[in-house]
């Protein structure tokens, strides 16, 4: 593993590549989480529409969420 030791530049190189890794993971995780949340929202709304809810219009008020 000495090939991966960069001497005095160790910190800088690993910081850069580490940050790259973090950002890439971030850009995978966040879309996945958003999709899950959206699907849950849709299912919840469909369930309430089909089985009747006490909230009537409040569910459909915010189109953007």
Partner 1 sequence: MGLFVLLFVGGLYSGLILAPIDYEQGEAYRIIFVHVPAAWMSLFIYMVMAVSGAIALIWRLKLAEIVMISSAPIGASFTFLALVTGSIWGKPMWNTWWVWDARLTSELLLLFLYFGVMALYNAIEDRRTAARAVAILALVGVVNIPIIHYSVEWWNTLHQGPTVTKFDKPSIHISMLIPLLIMAVAFKLFYIGSLFMRVRTELLAREQKSKWVTKLLESNH
Give me the residues that bind partner 1 (CB under 8 A), please.
3-4, 6-9, 12-13, 15-17, 19-20, 23-24, 26-28, 30-32, 34-35, 38-39, 42-43, 45-46, 63-64
Per residue, what are the HEC states of 35-63? Answer: HHHHHHHHHHHHHHHHHCCCCHHHHHCCC
* CB closer to partner 1 out of 57 and 64: 64
> Which residue, chain included where needed, has tokens 């469909």?
46
Contact 6, 13 (CB under 8 A): yes
Least Å from the CB of residue 25 to partner 1: 11
> Which is nearer to partner 1, 38 or 53 (by Cβ)?
38
């Amino acid at each position: 593993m000495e090939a991966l030791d960069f001497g005095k530049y160790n910190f800088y190189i690993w910081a850069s590549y580490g940050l790259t890794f973090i950002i890439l993971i971030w850009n995978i995780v966040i879309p996945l989480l958003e999709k899950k949340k959206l699907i849950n929202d849709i299912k919840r709304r469909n369930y309430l529409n089909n089985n009747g809810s006490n909230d009537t219009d409040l569910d459909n008020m915010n189109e953007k969420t």
